[in-house]
Structure 1
Amino acid sequence: MGAEALPNDLEAPLVLGLQPAGLMDYVAPVDWSLLDRLPGDRGGSIPVQKDELEHILKEVKTHILESPGLPPPLKTMAGGSVANTIRGLSVGFGVSTGIIGAFGDDDEGQSFLSNMGFSGVNISRLRKKKGSTAQCVCLVDASGNRTMRPCLSSAVKIQADELTKEDFVGSKWLVLRYAILNLEVIQSAIQIAKQQGLSVSLDLASFEMVRNYRSELLQLLESGNIDLCFANEDEATELLRGGQDVDPEAALAFMGRHCRWAVVTLASKGCIAKHGKEVVRVPAIGETKAIDATGAGDLFASGFLYGLIKGLSLEECCKVGSCSGGSVIRALGGEVTPENWQWMYKQLQMKDLPFPEIRN
């Protein structure tokens, strides 16, 4: 499959994200009656085929029209955990970022490219390929929990042998999301990144991914090549396989044995983090009802990485992450609105934490 690289006319970004497949999100508010009709666990992320995706989208549109209490229709934006994190770093924190991956020669691919470029992300490492761009339906219930159904199998994506040293040279951080379908390209990216002196951040993606492909994940962590690991409480539970009563601190300790920094996010209870022998617990910041939890962990990672880049303490990194994660749950989708960035800046100011110049 042919690939067309975009011109590389910008200096190396400080933070690179590897998202093998460009992705467009369709975000919609729904109630449990629709979620109960879908296969898989509520709150999880199960890949679907294109015909299934189209069926779900049709069901969602009908559901919204027949549910007067729900806000109107689908919200569309560039998506994917890595895209959310590096877009947040760029827009909200002014950090130079870039993205490595591929997008299709379709309308969705052009939309993904435009959204990321407009957000200030260096898109020169994206390859354009003949074929379709990945899509994902994000269904949000009244409690703000999201159920995701991504369509990835038929989408174009970058391959391991397409990665080059030039993609990584000059950057300092590589941001990854664990996915078994992308394991080969993830391993290749880590190898090149380490050769070029980059630190590597890994998000555990979803409890289903950890549950189904735990042995491969353990090998990745035990390689010693992951510098920073993020997990939410459900993912941490699956990682240790100790049942529902697994202590998040035990999962944190396990992650911390293999990574320089380890973080377990605990939703409304805040987070716990470990660096060396230091362990901190930080409560959630900002009282707000979650409209949509989509991207909460991704934007937490944005803030935490910003803290590391700025040389903040572990506790301060967690506080910035908490503010950043809290900013995205105040509206639908994994992209923070300008109003909610302003909310985050005020929270940082109240906590006497560093932040970039407030943007209008």
Structure 2
Amino acid sequence: MDIYDKLPAGRQQVTGVGSALVDILARADDAFLEQVGALKGGMTYVDINFINATLAKIPAPPQVVPGGSACNTVVGISRLGGRACFIGKCGNGAMGRLFCDDLEKQGVRAGLLRTDAPTGRVLSIITPDAQRSMFTFLGASAATAPHEIVPEQFADSAIVHIEGYLLFNRDLMMATLAAARAAGALISLDLASFNVVAEARDVLPDLVARYVDILLANEDEAEAFTGTRDPARAMQDLSRHVDLAVLKRGARGSLIAHRNEVLRVAAAGNGDAVDTTGAGDLYAAGLLHGLVRRMPLVQCGALAAACGYEVCQVVGAGIPDNRWQVIQRQMEV
């Protein structure tokens, strides 16, 4: 079915659901990754003591910024001029205030749930090849209960964008999917990380077939989901039960499957990267913003590629104001 025909009339908001996390961005080499037991390019859940102990071993001071996959996406949508909301749970302490203040600054409507537990955080270790490897302490974000997610939270949403990390809390994931569907919103799922896909392999295919309209994956995630590295075969499997499927291939661009056709989207820029943190999240921001604005799919892909490229030129998931202005001018062409 045409994805544009399924968009609910009169709605343009994208609501992200995921973990409210503060990103701690640090630089180190592959030897350091091995020393601390990091899964290169992947994500490992740890406690706060592990993060603090690992930070003590890092030679250079880290950068601390609000983050989280779905949050990064809706912030990008807001910076593109779209309507965006984020739903997640954070603490009442200093880190929680930092997170809330940044959402307000970025123009994102906050549907935040609060608790006295500490706000979650992610230690992202960035190696010289621009790859990021993550240790995650969920903190308050893990305290979100399924009954706290209800259809009324999505009443104004054209698309509900869910990060794959919610698959580690299956009851919460199912509650979110059911609430979004009951509200009449389309559902976008980013597979998040190859190890997330591998651990949810027993439920993920059925979940995608029953609920998901838009499915996004990078090559590692697609391989974990489909069992193949071949782009054509992976796209066939990714798009089997959804209206729109995306395979993100880094410097080689991306593939978007829709209505039995595959659009090839060239990568923006020269392929160089300083840090890949947030690349997939910002790609999703451009794509979803284009869709709710009902831009032609080729334009949605180009906007997604531009956002993904620009965030790779900085450390962290925050594109500078002057580069957002460049992206917005490209939208007007």
Report whether the alignment pairs 1:43 with 2:41: yes
Q: Distance in 1 between matches of 2:193 and 2:306?
A: 22
TM-score (norm. length: structure 2): 0.92
Query: Could you say which residue in structure 2 is the equivalent of 1:264?
Result: 247
Query: Could you say which residue in structure 1 is the equivalent of 2:69?
Result: 81
Query: Could you say which residue in structure 2 is the equivalent of 1:218?
Result: 205
Within the candidate set 178, 196, 219, 1:233 is matched to 219
Q: Deviations over 1:231-276 (max 9, x none)?
A: 001100111224xxx2122121112111100000000000011001
Within the candidate set 305, 321, 325, 1:322 is matched to 305
Give the letter aligned to residue 117 of structure 2. Answer: G
How much identity, in percent, do the aligned residues show? 29
Report whether the alignment pairs 1:17 with 2:16: yes
Report whether the alignment pairs 1:59 with 2:70: no
Q: Distance in 2 between matches of 1:41 and 1:164?
A: 35
Structure 1 residue runs of 5 or longer lacking an equivalent are: 1-11, 65-72, 356-360
Q: Deviations over 1:283-307 (max 9, x none)?
A: 2011252010000000000001112
Within the candidate set 274, 296, 302, 2:279 is matched to 296
Do the aligned partners of residues 43 and 290 (structure 1) sit closer, same or farther apart at CA in structure 2, a change above 3 Å counting? same
For residues 1-360 of structure 1, the aligned pairs below 5 Å read 14-19=13-18, 21-60=19-58, 63-64=59-60, 73-91=61-79, 93-123=80-110, 125-152=111-138, 156-179=142-165, 180-223=167-210, 225-242=211-228, 246-345=229-328, 348=330, 353-354=331-332
CA displacement at 1:193 relative to structure 2:
1.3
CA displacement at 1:155 relative to structure 2:
5.0
Q: Is the 8 A contact 2:89 2:141 kept in 1?
A: no
Q: Distance in 1 between matches of 2:140 and 2:88?
A: 15
Based on CA coordinates, which of the two structures has the bigger radius of gyration?
1
Root-mean-square deviation (CA, aligned residues, Å) is 1.7
Q: Distance in 1 between matches of 2:261 and 2:190?
A: 21
Q: Is the 8 A contact 1:13 1:98 kept in 2?
A: no
* Count of equivalent residues: 322
More strand by share: 2
CA displacement at 1:13 relative to structure 2:
7.1
Q: Distance in 1 between matches of 2:73 and 2:21?
A: 14
Q: Is the 8 A contact 1:296 1:328 kept in 2?
A: yes
TM-score (norm. length: structure 1): 0.85
CA displacement at 1:181 relative to structure 2:
2.3
CA displacement at 1:94 relative to structure 2:
0.8
Q: Kindly report structure 1 stretches of 4+ aligned residues shifted beyond 4 Å.
A: 153-156
